[in-house]
Amino acid sequence: RVAWVNGRFRPRQRAAIPIDDRAVLFADSVYEVCEVFGGALVDLTAHLDRLDRSLRELAMAAPMGRRALTVVMRETARRNRVRDGMVYVQVSRGAAPRDFLFPDPPAKPTLIVTARSIDRAAAEARAVQGMAVITTPDIRWGRVDIKTTGLLPNVLAKEAARLRGAREAWLTDRDGFITEGGSSNAWIITQAGVLVTRPADGGILRGVTRGTLLRLVQEMGLPVEERAFTRAEALAAREAFVTAATTLVAPVIRIDDEAIGDGRPGALTLELRRRLHDVAE
């Protein structure tokens, strides 16, 4: 196992960043998770685009150019023999004595790249079983459109889900609308067969998988609405699912212990999952 840290590969066990790195002190850092499917990095361009946007929004310098970063990501997957799994990329504003203000002159950004394999068959078997989700208030900050490592609210929400036997938490805004999952975007399919997911207008992270699926369902000619939906509407839905780089499309079968549809993964959800896998391959 090796990790890329600031310009070189290190054995994973000994890979480290300074204690005054701003990722450690302030979560002053952004990240991407890119799925590896049969050796290929899925939706790589979209992930790099979003990383660029996150950096720009926080006035953070890129650690290297896109081409070089792509080489490092591929090489990290290769050196860790990852054919199926994920590549993790994190960029921080660098190491500097603790001060809220940006370091002046700017510090050298810290780049971390790691890769991990998953057992595709086991993940597939688990995913098609469907998952339970809970709903819990969205207590995150106002810039959830930026993919920062400041994920404590997400950690707490997902841990609360686990304690209630669920795998994901659907976060609800003050008006009772679902924003997204702790680490995924939320979707429902209404009784009329309309796919519904919240618009990426600032209240959610604009998921790369969400974007890919939106294009796919439009190509398929399926009715889709980008609008907010409530917990009540989700409970009355025919099907529900989440999207994320790590799971692509994963069926949701229970919300707060109430069954969705017949309590089994929805037929359209499973078809979309298959199709997205075909696109990824």
Separation between Cα atoms, residue 140 and residue 147, nearest integer Å = 12
Pick from 34, 31, 55: nearest CA to 44:
34
CB of 134 to ligand PDD, least distance (A): 15
Instruction: Count other Cβ atoms within 10 Å, centred on residue 100.
Output: 7
Q: Which is nearer to ligand PDD, 54 or 80 (CB)?
A: 54
Q: Which is nearer to ligand PDD, 96 or 186 (CB)?
A: 186
Query: Any contact of residue 209 with ligand PDD (CB under 6 A)?
Result: yes
Q: Where are the alpha helices (DSSP H) in 139-229?
A: 152-163, 208-219
How many residues belong to the site for ligand PDD (CB under 6 A)?
Answer: 14
Selected from 33, 160, 200, 279, the binder of ligand PDD by CB under 6 A is: 33
Separation between Cα atoms, residue 242 and residue 185, nearest integer Å = 5
Q: Which of residues 213-272 bind ligand PDD (CB under 6 A)?
A: 243-246
Query: Any contact of residue 188 with ligand PDD (CB under 6 A)?
Result: no
CB of 195 to ligand PDD, least distance (A): 16
158 annotated active-site? no
Q: Which is nearer to ligand PDD, 150 or 207 (CB)?
A: 207
* Annotated catalytic residue within 22, 140, 147, 198: 147
Query: Any contact of residue 210 with ligand PDD (CB under 6 A)?
Result: yes
Selected from 48, 95, 113, 208, the binder of ligand PDD by CB under 6 A is: 208
Separation between Cα atoms, residue 206 and residue 143, nearest integer Å = 12
Residue 277's alpha-carbon distances to 145, 209, 229, 273, in angstroms, are 26, 11, 27, 6
Which residues neighbour 79 within 8 Å (Cβ) at sequence distance 6 or greater? Answer: 2, 9, 115
Query: Which stretch in 69-77, 121-129, 205-213, 262-270 sits in contact with ligand PDD by CB under 6 A?
Result: 205-213
Separation between Cα atoms, residue 78 and residue 246, nearest integer Å = 18
CB of 155 to ligand PDD, least distance (A): 10
- Per-residue tokens: 145: 């459109």
CB of 151 to ligand PDD, least distance (A): 7
The residue ranges of DSSP E strands in 38-177, in sequence order, are: 40-41, 85-92, 110-117, 131-137, 168-172
Residues at the site binding ligand PDD, with contacts judged by CB under 6 A = 33, 180, 183-185, 205, 207-210, 243-246
Active-site positions? 147
